[in-house]
Amino acid sequence: MSDKADALTPFRVAVPEAVIEDLLDRLARTRWPDQIPGSGWSYGTDLSYLRDLCDHWRTTYDWRAAEAKINAFPQFTTTIDGANVHFLHVRSREPGALPLIITHGWPGSIVEFLEIIGPLVDPRAHGGDPADAFHVVCPSIPGYGFSGPTHDPGWDIGRVALAFKELMARLGYDRYGAQGGDWGSMISRTLAVIDAEHMVGVHLNMLVAFPSGEPGELEGLTPDELDRLQDGARYEADGAGYSKIQGTRPQTLSYGLTDSPAGQLAWIAEKFREWTDCGGDPESAIARDVLLTNVTVYWVTATAGSSARMYYETFRSSALRTFEPSTVPTGVAVFPKEIFRPVRRFAERLNPIVHWSEFSQGGHFAAMEQGPVLVDDVRTFFRLVR
């Protein structure tokens, strides 16, 4: 490209061996806390579970194999609004493929999507219809993973959405769709609001839709709808401590997580246990090496603090307080162990929902837990809007 500021630079993950050796050394020298006997997970991440997982990380886990898996996909970096943006860009061979930007959240990464990119890009090779093919753009949110830390304030979901709008324009895509969960859901929805002229549809597997507070709006809700609201209240009361800390003191938190791999793993593994459909055993939903790859991305890029700042910045912006109505056709996939299961009548106030699916299994990390199901739902939705 003529403007160096707009250049797309090919990228490959190549973590220095010294970084891996340092990780293994730190794991070997972990200073372990005490735990009340028999308390399990009731106070947070269980000590015996974490010690076993750290031992596996140190003695058995193979980062180089994971690195090679990531590097099997074409990757690039570019500078947008002063931030480095890393992304996978996997083009389909199908002539009618639709560009699709898929976005992770916290504590996720591009690792969430490694198993579903192939079926999205090449449905023909995975038993699907070639007409459902996508060109996949899979960015690391600025401040996360291989995008590296951000270096100025203000990187809330709105600013990320503006960056991704620019990214799709740089790639030459003037007609595209978006998909996401967690922060990726909010970023994708915001992208639909600010780039509606180019967006054909947005598919979300965590749509946040709160009651407005209007008198009488809770009257007539079904038992299931009331249960969804109660689940949200329970999460706020007992499950949102991480969010309060990251939203108020991300810098203080970052010292421990950046210095201790055991601390970083404990901070993230707890969420994989709480937010997956796992019956208390996170590895029944997501293989331990996949979990460790996701955590290792945070560790080798030292992005614990910068990723946490997303909470601080977003909670202080208007982004979560004043959702603007969207005009872009919206598809919603609801998994039973999601943090927030939306009530459709509330979701439809601000979103033109044309596709709504409810599933019997799966949780917050849908692409990891229920990849084929999510792929099928994405395909089904985008058939309506291609």
Domain of 85 in residue numbering reads as 4-382
311 is catalytic: yes
Sign for the pseudo-dihedral over CA of 117, 123, 127, 129: positive
Which residue among the candidates 135, 156, 364, 377 is catalytic per the annotation?
364
**pLDDT, position 1:** 36
Looking up residue 177, the CATH number of its domain turns out to be 3.40.50.1820
Tell me how far apart the alpha carbons of residues 354 and 279 are, in angstroms, rounded to a whole number.
32
Distance CA 87, CA 102 (A): 10
Catalytic residue among 61, 311, 355, 377: 311
Q: Is 364 tagged catalytic?
A: yes
pLDDT attached to residue 318: 77
Q: Is 148 left (phi over 0), alpha (psi -120 to 50) or beta?
A: left
What would the 3-class secondary structure string for 250-304 be? HHHHHHHHHHCHHHHHHHHHHHHHHHCCCCCCHHHCCCHHHHHHHHHHHHHHCCH
pTM of the model: 0.96
Number of domains composing the chain: 1
**Token pair recorded at residue 69:** 């898996």
Q: What's the confidence (pLDDT) of residue 212?
A: 81
SS3 32: coil
Catalytic residue among 122, 182, 195, 289: 182
Mean pLDDT per 10-residue run, the chain (386 residues)?
70 98 98 98 98 98 98 98 98 97 98 98 97 98 98 96 98 98 97 97 94 85 94 93 97 98 98 97 96 98 98 87 85 96 94 98 98 98 97
- For residue 211, the model assigns a pLDDT of 85
Cβ atoms of 86 and 147 within 8 Å: the answer is yes
User: What does residue 30 show for φ and ψ, rounded to 5 degrees?
Assistant: -55, 135
Q: Note whether 165 and 194 are within 8 A (CB).
A: yes
Q: Is 182 a catalytic residue?
A: yes
* pLDDT at residue 2, as a whole number: 37
- 12 contacts 71 by C-beta, under 8 angstroms: yes
Query: Which pLDDT belongs to residue 5?
Result: 57
